[in-house]
């Protein structure tokens, strides 16, 4: 056995069971090495004079050499067969690698397209999200606005229902109007009208004026177009009413912030100062009283 | 491959060197090699007989190992009447050409020098003809005898390449009548002059290793295995540089197990004869070990190449499958992308 060969043991992986018929040329190729070596070693050993003479005489040396040559030729043929096959396999492999390379290139192009598509989609999604967000904000605002308007209307109803129900009966008609408008100012109605401008505000203000006008006319038992004495009509307290009771004190307190020059009607109503009657009309219809009180209450400059 | 693998094992002849085949068989069994039929010449026929009559390969190998351990302790060689020198010279005459002249000088009578009684007794102990009938097919090589002296003469002419011996005949042992089966095995191992020829089917036969001398046709009985349809044949040799050639059988896949180092243990002019009859504890274990190692070496070399080739084929097949799958995926991807581009 050749010295450079590693010993082979039965547990070696390559020695697991031979389960199918091996190809002849492969077995010949591998096995002929051992056969040739066997002959070559015998050839080397038979170098004594008698052995050489005997082998020469009998032709054994020629036969052995022929056997070696045949095996070598066969081995070369097997090598050629295998080499040809391997070359074909290599060509096949190269073609396969080329195909794989083409696929990878194509895949790269497709991935690039997908990445671009993905980026575009992302941008469009961002845009959509922004639009949606804006829309949602608008909707929120709209909902809030609707909700606020609803509160304003409710507040308006609540205040005028209260007036109509007679809960402000302790005051003069003008005092009732001021008390109602002052209550509107400190609730949802006031919040809206003081923080908004435009047609909606004007509409609410007009509603307040209209409803105050109607209620004043009702309280004074006159039509809305009839004029009434300011002092003896609009400031006339109901019978048995004390001007210094808590109701009137509260009304005065509410009007503390108004100055006579900027809110002459309110100060006149709440303080009932006869010396200032010259600054207010002697006769006025309900509409004028209501409009003036609303204007004075919701005018910023009316406050001190 | 779809063809069913049918493995034949050829056990060639070589006297006590037949111990080498014990190692060969043990290694083949450890490697998981199946053996579907066996043929043998001379000592190979006796080993083959025990193997074929065993219920399993493992059992057969164990029996052969046991037999050879007995042979190492107790030689089956028993002289008939001749002296040791005459015996040795006669035995050597078969293998060592130079001794043939001495053989002639010693006189040519037809009486066998050795008794085959010990061998026959061992055969009776280890070979069960009933089991043999159920075992794997066994072929033995036998040589039609013309008398011991003429047989040796023909061998002499063949050894000097003047005229080759006639081909040996191959007998399918299980096809023989039961009482002839034992004779066929003993005939295959009956070295002319050393052991007496045996009659089988009315003919006298001696050692099958003598036939087709120049090409070892009789000593390496592969032909019956080819005829029986084996498509892979493992051939074991018991001598260095055997002239048996695989190239004579181009249609069959043959795996030869050749000695990778010298088989000779004895030295000197009669070294060959001493090894031939060397049933002793110093030689037999070494031949067993040599047979084991050589088998691992020869089978290993072939299997390594086969496995490499199988791996290449498997990788090619896997790649083709992978490529086919890749093509399907490509079509699916192309389809999706074309829809995206719309």
Write the ipTM: 0.80
- Shortest Cα distance from B126 to chain A (angstroms)? 28
CA B331/CA B216 separation, integer angstroms: 64
Which chain A residues have a beta carbon less than 8 Å from that of B31?
10, 15-18
Tokens read off for A184: 């509107």
Q: What is the pLDDT of residues B247-283, one digit of tens each?
A: 999 889 999 999 999 998 888 777 777 787 778 888 9
Residues of chain B with pLDDT under 50: 1, 83-84, 87-88, 91, 93, 95, 97-102, 104-108
Q: Does B305 sit within 8 Å of A26, measured CB to CB?
A: yes
One pLDDT digit (tens) per residue for chain A, 304 residues:
444 445 555 455 444 445 566 788 889 988 989 999 999 999 888 888 888 888 888 888 898 999 999 999 999 998 999 899 899 989 988 999 999 999 999 999 999 999 999 999 999 999 999 999 999 999 999 998 888 889 999 999 999 999 999 999 889 999 999 999 999 999 999 999 888 888 989 999 999 999 999 999 999 899 988 999 888 889 888 887 777 788 888 888 888 888 888 888 898 888 766 666 667 788 889 999 999 999 999 886 555 4
> Based on the number of CB atoms within 10 Å of its own CB, is A263 exposed (0-12), middle (13-18) or buried (19 or more)?
buried
Which chain B residues have a beta carbon less than 8 Å from that of A67?
243, 245, 247
Which chain B residues have a beta carbon less than 8 Å from that of A121?
none
Using CB atoms and an 8 Å cut-off, which of residues 104-163 of chain A contact chain B? 106-107, 110, 113-114, 117
Beta-bridge mates of residue B37: B8
In terms of pTM, does the model score above 0.80? no
Listed residue (B301, B212, B208) closest to B258, CA to CA: B301
pLDDT, position A2: 43
Rounded to 5 degrees, what are φ and ψ at B10? -105, 120
Pseudo-torsion of CA B271, B272, B277, B283, nearest 10°? 70
Q: Which among B232, B261, B330 has the least Cβ separation from residue A1?
A: B261
Q: Does A7 sit within 8 Å of B240, measured CB to CB?
A: no
pLDDT, position A120: 94
Helices and strands of chain B, counted as H and E runs: 12, 10
Q: Does A37 sit within 8 Å of B253, measured CB to CB?
A: no
Tell which phi-psi region holds residue A44, choosing left (phi > 0), alpha (psi between -120 and 50) or beta: alpha
Residue A52: which residues within 8 A CB-CB, separation 6 or more? A46, A61
pLDDT, position B22: 96
pLDDT, position A251: 87
pLDDT, position A12: 52
Mean pLDDT, rounded, of chain B: 85
Q: Does A74 sit within 8 Å of B304, measured CB to CB?
A: no
Q: Does B302 sit within 8 Å of A22, measured CB to CB?
A: yes
User: Least CA distance to A18: which residue of chain B?
Assistant: B33
Q: Which among A12, A41, A60 has the least Cβ separation from residue B240?
A: A41
pLDDT, position B83: 45
Print burial letters for A173-190: b (CB count within 10 Å at least 16), e (below 16).
bbbbbbbbbbbbbebbbb
Q: Does A1 sit within 8 Å of B303, measured CB to CB?
A: no
| Chain B interface includes A30 (CB < 8 A) | yes
Q: What is the pLDDT of residues A43-56, one digit of tens each?
A: 888 888 888 888 88
pLDDT, position B84: 47
CA A269/CA A177 separation, integer angstroms: 10
């Amino acid at each position: 056995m050749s010295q450079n060969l590693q010993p082979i043991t039965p547990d070696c992986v390559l020695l697991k069971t031979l389960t199918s018929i091996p190809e002849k040329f492969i077995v010949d190729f591998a096995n002929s090495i051992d056969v040739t070596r066997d002959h070559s070693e015998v050839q080397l050993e038979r170098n004594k004079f008698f052995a050489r003479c005997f082998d020469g005489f009998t032709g054994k040396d020629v036969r052995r050499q022929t056997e070696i040559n045949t095996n070598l030729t066969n081995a070369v043929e097997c090598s050629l067969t295998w080499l040809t096959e391997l070359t074909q396999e290599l060509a096949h492999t190269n073609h396969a690698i080329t195909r794989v390379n083409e696929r990878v290139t194509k895949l790269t192009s497709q991935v690039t397209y997908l990445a671009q598509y993905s980026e575009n989609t992302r941008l469009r999604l961002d845009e959509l999200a922004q639009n949606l967000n804006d829309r949602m904000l608008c909707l929120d605002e709209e909902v809030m606005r609707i909700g606020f308007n609803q509160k304003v209307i409710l507040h308006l109803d609540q205040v005028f229902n209260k007036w109509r129900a007679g809960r402000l009966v302790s005051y003069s008609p003008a005092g009732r109007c001021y008390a109602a408008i002052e209550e509107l100012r400190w609730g949802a109605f006031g919040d809206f009208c003081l923080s908004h401008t435009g047609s909606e505000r004007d509409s609410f203000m007009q509603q307040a004026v209209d409803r105050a006008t109607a209620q004043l006319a009702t309280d004074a038992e006159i039509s809305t177009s009839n004029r009434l004495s300011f002092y003896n009509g609009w400031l006339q307290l109901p019978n048995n009413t004390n001007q210094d009771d808590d109701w009137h004190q509260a009304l005065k307190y509410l009007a503390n912030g108004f100055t006579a020059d900027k809110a002459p009607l309110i100060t006149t109503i709440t303080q009932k100062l006869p010396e200032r009657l010259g600054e207010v009309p002697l006769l006025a219809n309900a509409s004028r009283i209501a409009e003036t009180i609303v204007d004075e209450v919701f005018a910023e400059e009316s406050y001190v | 491959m779809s063809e069913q693998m049918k493995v034949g094992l050829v056990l060639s002849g070589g006297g006590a060197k037949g111990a080498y085949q014990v190692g060969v068989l043990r290694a083949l069994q450890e490697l998981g090699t199946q053996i579907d039929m066996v043929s043998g010449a001379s000592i190979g026929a006796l080993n083959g007989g025990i193997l074929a009559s065993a219920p399993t390969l493992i059992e057969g190998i164990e029996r052969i190992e046991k037999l050879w351990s007995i042979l190492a302790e107790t030689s089956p060689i028993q002289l008939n009447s001749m002296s040791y020198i005459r015996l040795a010279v006669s035995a050597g005459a078969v293998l060592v050409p130079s001794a043939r002249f001495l053989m002639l000088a010693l006189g040519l009578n037809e009486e066998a020098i050795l008794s085959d009684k010990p061998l026959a007794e061992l055969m009776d102990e280890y070979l069960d003809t009933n089991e043999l009938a159920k075992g794997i097919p066994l072929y033995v090589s036998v040589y039609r005898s013309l008398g011991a002296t003429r047989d040796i003469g023909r061998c002499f002419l063949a050894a000097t390449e003047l005229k080759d011996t006639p081909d040996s005949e191959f007998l399918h042992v299980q096809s023989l009548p039961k009482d002839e089966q034992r004779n066929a095995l003993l005939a295959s191992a009956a070295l002319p002059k050393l052991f007496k020829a045996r009659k089988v089917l009315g003919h006298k036969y001696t050692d099958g290793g003598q036939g087709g001398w120049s090409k070892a046709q009789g000593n390496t009985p592969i032909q019956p295995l080819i005829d029986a349809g084996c498509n892979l044949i493992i051939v074991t040799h018991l001598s260095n540089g055997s002239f048996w050639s695989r190239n004579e059988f181009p249609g069959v896949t043959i795996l030869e197990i050749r000695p990778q180092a010298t088989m000779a243990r004895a030295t000197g002019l009669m070294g060959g004869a001493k090894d031939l009859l060397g049933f002793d504890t110093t030689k037999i274990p070494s031949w067993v070990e040599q047979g084991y190692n050589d088998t691992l070496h020869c089978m290993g070399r072939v299997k390594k190449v086969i496995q490499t080739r199988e791996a290449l084929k498997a990788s090619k097949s896997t790649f083709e499958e992978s490529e086919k799958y890749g093509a399907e995926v490509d079509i699916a991807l192309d389809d999706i992308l074309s829809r995206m581009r719309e």
